[in-house]
Amino acid sequence: MNIQDLFNEYETDSICVSDLGIIVQGARLDYIVKDEDGKVHFWGGNPETDKYAEEFVMDKETEKFVCEEILEKM
């Protein structure tokens, strides 16, 4: 299973992962969002409703680790 499979399983482009307790760059990861090109973005806060939500910018290694954590905990 990969992150794209989660979006397919839940039939959505936005998944709340706050309860997983994943910390990225000192802040809790709250949402993963797939854009129209299929690229996954990682957010602190809800980018659709929270005007203070911030996107995490990560290197590929960190992104891979975060994805593995999400898949393991879900």
Write the Ramachandran bin of 21: left for phi over 0, alpha for psi from -120 to 50, otherwise beta. left
The model's pTM:
0.91
Tens digits of per-residue pLDDT, 10-58? 999 999 999 999 999 999 999 999 999 999 999 999 999 999 999 999 9
- Confidence at residue 41, expressed as pLDDT on a 0 to 100 scale: 97
- Confidence at residue 1, expressed as pLDDT on a 0 to 100 scale: 80
**Phi, psi torsion values for 35, nearest 5 degrees:** -85, 180
- Confidence at residue 8, expressed as pLDDT on a 0 to 100 scale: 94
